Structure 1
Amino acid sequence: MASKRRVADEPVTSILADGDIPVSSNGGGFSGDDEVLAALGYKSEFKREFSLFTTFCVSFAVLGLLPSFASTLYYGMGYAGTAGMTWGWVVAMVGIQSVACSMAELCSSMPTSGGLYYASAVLAPPGWGPFAAWITGWSNWLGQVTAAPSVNYGTAAMILAAASIQNQDYVPTNYQTFLLTVFIMLLHGIMSSLPTKSLAQINTVGSTFNILALIVVLVLIPAGTDRPSRGLPRFTPSSEVWGTIYEGTSFPPGISVLMSFVAVIWTMSGYDSPFHLAEECSNANIASPRAIVLTSAVGGTFGWFLQLVVAYTVVDINEVLESELGQPFAAYLIQCMPTKMVLTILTLTIIAGFSMGQGCMIAASRVTFAYARDDCFPGSWWIKRINPTTKTPVNAVWFNCIIGILSLLLIFGGELAVGALFSIGAIAAFVAFTTPIFIRVFFVGTRFRPGPWHLGRASIPIGTTASAFVALMVPILCFPSVTSPDLTLEDMNWTCLVYGGPMFLITVWWLVSARKWFKGPKVNVEHLMLGEEGTVFHETRGGVEVLFHCYWRPGQAVRCTTIVTQWQQQQKGANYESS
């Protein structure tokens, strides 16, 4: 007599209630990752050639601490000075790490390319799923599609700043910055169209260089500073570094420090990449969340060290912000380093920035593909095509590339106008990050079905902290640096318009049209993420064990799902019982 075995005991990675196994529609064997993806409603279309390490490499490349810091120094140092860079970074990281941990928990439960968008749809209260997915998806896409242009703009500005250092008569123009940034965008578009295996290899090299370059710079700046030859102490006294808040805004010091968080948030917003690469990662519902937390923790720690090094060696903040070089990081280096050392550090930062922009474009293309797969965009039929040769979403890559190039026209609006790209990246990403977390904490509660990586009892407190942090920061990031009557068009913070305008139109689109046809992610198998009440019945039909999972919500009719799998058919000798 065959021994009794529970389905939940079988070696199949699954988040289904009671260990249910999704239907194998092609009659072939499913890997554990394919089972999970099928349970979430999608078939596997990518080769799973990313591991925990290579996924971390992509996300760390997207994080790009060195080029991110260089690109956002104008905001991090300019709003609150060294105080915002030192203890301000630590305060911000508490909220950021809370968001990362809560996101990782969602990723373990729902490892799809759609990620946050899928989670919002599944976790939302009955009837609100499509709208939650719509807002989350578009906000996330706005953050993703502006990431590569903003990174590449910073890289182009550093290249031209290096040229200015070599030739002091040369002053970069907006036109030259625009053309160089577009050229970098096109290069990244070509590189991002390569097969997954090549992308993994390229990003492994790029991320390794990012880490090494960061370590080299952390050593070079304090070791090579020539402040003593300029009649200054080697390092600024700690009391001045930690205790003096630079008056970079017209707001009280506390608000100025909060405003400086735009640099921290934008720098640290790349840790969601493992979520979007989950369909290309093996053992995704464990490796991907680990990569998220690892990226945030490692990035936050090394980023703080970089902030400290710069805070202790900067000479004059005003000169850094107002330099004709057009790149504050280059202006800072000139204040405290010999020329050859400045060019060496800029070269390392430029190469790291190029790698970061490449990672951003890859991550954005996966998000666009996932949303197009559910017909979110006009022309989704073309965007969601997988290239038959590379097995990657090449059309999505070039769709994003074109949108990114158009957004770079903000360069001609001046420093604050193009700065909106950075603020959009911060706000759009964190709104998308936190929407499913907020729903999970305040609407789902204990009914949430976690994956194998979860926070346990700390899930709700950490999720609440993450939600509160983002709720505080969204309006803060829209504040202008000056207040009325000194506020002018040139000093205006255009984030509320550049982000709020498209989101307003997207909401109107929903009310007028999209609510009639957009139903959210296409879920082919009920995975009971919300934990509806139910039970499992089973019987034998033709020698095959058939499971009937019947479930319901209050006020709704009973629904039953029949689960029969090819794997079960191969195990006819076993007798299964429900849990």
Structure 2
Amino acid sequence: MAVDATLPPPATSVLGSGDLPDGLEEMSDDEAALAALGYKQQFKREFSAWTTFAVSFAVMGLLPSIATTMWYGIGYAGPAANTWGWLISVVFIMCVAASMAELASSMPTSGGLYYAAAVLAGPKYGPFAAWITGWSNWLVQVTGAPSVDYGCAGMILAAASITNPSYVPNEWQTFLLTVFIMILHALISSMPTLWIAQFNSVGTVINIACLVVTIIIIPAAAISQPKFQPNEVAWGVQNFTEFPDGIAVLMSFLAIIWTTSGFDASYHLSEECSNAAIATPRSIIMTAGSGSVMGFFLNLVIAYTITDVGEVMESDLGQPWAAYLIQILPQPVALAVLAMTIICAFSMGQGCMVAASRVCFAYARDDCFGYLSPALKKVNRHTLTPVNAVWFNTFIGVLLMLLIFGGVAIGAIFSIGALGSYIAFTTPILIKTVFVGNNFRRGPWHLGKFSMALGILSCCFVLVMLPILCFPTVTGDDLTPELMNWTSLVYFGPMLFIVIWFFVDAHKWFKGPKINIEHHMLHQDLRTHPGVVGVDPKADEGDDQGSTDKTSPV
């Protein structure tokens, strides 16, 4: 039968014949797959693999991410953080992304990692696993837009200082400008899905174009002498911490982890994506892979052209990226590059706001927010988007911005983004790797025989980085409240309260992902259903029989 080329490709289902939900004849393949996971379709599926990637790439925002985290990369370990430090870390980051993509193909829901942790841990431990994963991920999401918008505001004010050297922005001006940008992003994120998808598609094209132009224009227009640093400088460690060089390089991974952590946005948009079981994992890999490669080229340019790292970090502009551009470029060119970075940062902040609203909606749908859940899980009848969740996250973000008045404490919103995201990323990966093993029920996109190895590497990397990300730059008598790394308090303080809340009260009513239609996820081996689209009936022998537990797709 001929296929109409104007129609979207058929969705790839991970369902066997025993898993088909009631009313299948009235559902699309994507709706049937979602129904078998326990949810009814509430969003329009107006995202494609490209537009899903567009949001993820916008959330990652390489140019503004690298610009706003120079404090925590080259500012810790010097140029080595941008060169071999980047290369080492992205190997492990790609392991995490690949393992997440495998989960996304098996369980493509807006709840993402939270849903995966629940079903992989089973009915006994699933609620607690979902509780920890969900809250950790939400803390990351709710700090995403504020941290990006804070960086965007800082660059705007730095540009004003460059053009008018007598102007020195104060904390209130930074706070108010950041809040204004967040409100603009909330308004855009409250629009219909198709409008948001189109906005992010344009933003992604602009992001990629500005990134490429920046990579070309910096070495071409640099006026510093010498124009390029020798290899021993560009690949060398300049330790600005009081820890050994190796620890300083590991600490600089904070910038890299925060920069590349946006690939999970694709997972949270899976209920709005056509052919989600294939498009979502592809989008995750595309985002992490393109970010790793293109980010390395930009970091390489910075490492070879920066002339004085200390001067950049201590500049009165208060923004290392702006100080670096002024150090090596003519002022008009530096302002042009800074303007491109600001535009990309605006697009990135909006992408973060969209992803955060979908996470908030998904968790509220399962009553994770207690009494606030009924309001947060409402989908606006006009836009068919979770508008309440958008504005709730915006309100929390404004409160977080009060950390600006705490001096260096504002840096904790970046540390939370790195620490909390990878705790959320690897919790279901750890459960799958250690406790589920070959009983994991794969989707049509999977890692085959490499699944276990990549899962182990992902978990080991995060276990090493957890304490490192909480280190301050100084030790001993030099450690003052102003120089303290407040990540431990700002992240683990709320998480401690959340754990206590679960055991004292939440365990009585929170049972993990809730089923809002009749659930038919029978756990049969996919190989017994050769007619399932996208599944190889001759799966490799390492793919053992799935569990018969009827509460989990494991």
TM-score bin (small chain): over 0.9
Determine which of 190, 200, 206 is the counterpart of 1:193: 190
Residue of structure 2 equivalent to 1:471: 463
CA deviation after TM superposition for structure 1 residue 429, in Å: 0.6
- SS of aligned partner of 2:312: helix
CA deviation after TM superposition for structure 1 residue 22, in Å: 2.5
Distance 1:96 1:13 in 2: 27
Q: Does 1:233 align with 2:226?
A: yes
Residue of structure 2 equivalent to 1:4: none
Deviations 1:294-326 (A, max 9, x none): 000000000000000011111111111111111
Bigger share in helix:
2
- SS of aligned partner of 1:520: coil
Deviations 1:335-371 (A, max 9, x none): 1000000100000000000000000000000000000
Determine which of 18, 21, 44 is the counterpart of 1:20: 18
Residue of structure 2 equivalent to 1:445: 437
Determine which of 348, 364, 381 is the counterpart of 1:388: 381
Distance 2:306 2:276 in 1: 43
- SS of aligned partner of 1:23: coil
Q: Does 1:47 align with 2:44?
A: yes
| Equivalent pair of 1:226/1:338 in contact (CA under 8 Å) | yes
> Structure 1 13/338 Cα, relative in aligned 2: closer, same or farther at 3 Å?
closer
Distance 1:445 1:371 in 2: 27
> Structure 1 461/552 Cα, relative in aligned 2: closer, same or farther at 3 Å?
closer
Residue of structure 1 equivalent to 2:534: none
Aligned residues: percent identity?
A: 59
Residue of structure 2 equivalent to 1:307: 299
Distance 1:560 1:321 in 2: 53
- Residue identity opposite 1:155 in structure 2: C
CA deviation after TM superposition for structure 1 residue 485, in Å: 2.0
- Residue identity opposite 2:249 in structure 1: V
Distance 2:21 2:258 in 1: 41
Per mean C-alpha deviation after superposition, the further-off stretch among 517-526 and 197-206 is: 517-526
Distance 2:547 2:503 in 1: 32
TM-score normalised per structure 1: 0.88
| Equivalent pair of 1:21/1:35 in contact (CA under 8 Å) | no
Within 5 Å, give how 1:235-314 maps onto structure 2. Answer: 235-242=228-235, 244-314=236-306
CA deviation after TM superposition for structure 1 residue 14, in Å: 3.2
Q: Does 1:511 align with 2:503?
A: yes
Within 5 Å, give how 1:550-561 maps onto structure 2. Answer: 552=548
- Residue identity opposite 1:509 in structure 2: W
CA deviation after TM superposition for structure 1 residue 552, in Å: 5.0
CA deviation after TM superposition for structure 1 residue 15, in Å: 2.5
Residue of structure 2 equivalent to 1:141: 138
Structure 1 unpaired stretches of 5+? 1-10, 537-549, 554-558, 562-579
- Residue identity opposite 1:446 in structure 2: N
Within 5 Å, give how 1:278-427 maps onto structure 2. Answer: 278-377=270-369, 378-414=371-407, 416-427=408-419
Deviations 1:14-36 (A, max 9, x none): 324x43342235x7511110011
Bigger share in strand:
1
Residue of structure 1 equivalent to 2:160: 163
> Structure 1 560/57 Cα, relative in aligned 2: closer, same or farther at 3 Å?
closer
CA deviation after TM superposition for structure 1 residue 238, in Å: 0.6
Distance 1:387 1:401 in 2: 17
Give the RMSD, CA atoms, in angstroms. Answer: 1.9
CA deviation after TM superposition for structure 1 residue 528, in Å: 4.7
| Equivalent pair of 2:122/2:551 in contact (CA under 8 Å) | no
- SS of aligned partner of 2:482: coil
- Residue identity opposite 1:343 in structure 2: L
CA deviation after TM superposition for structure 1 residue 126, in Å: 4.5
CA deviation after TM superposition for structure 1 residue 214, in Å: 0.1
Deviations 1:449-501 (A, max 9, x none): 11000000000000100011011111100001011121110110000000000
- Equivalences, count: 524
Q: Does 1:72 align with 2:66?
A: no
- SS of aligned partner of 1:169: coil
| Equivalent pair of 1:75/1:263 in contact (CA under 8 Å) | yes
Greater radius of gyration (CA): 1
CA deviation after TM superposition for structure 1 residue 103, in Å: 0.1
CA deviation after TM superposition for structure 1 residue 245, in Å: 1.1
- SS of aligned partner of 1:479: coil
Structure 2 unpaired stretches of 5+? 1-9, 530-545
> Structure 1 560/275 Cα, relative in aligned 2: closer, same or farther at 3 Å?
closer
- Residue identity opposite 2:20 in structure 1: P
| Equivalent pair of 1:22/1:525 in contact (CA under 8 Å) | no
Distance 2:11 2:50 in 1: 23
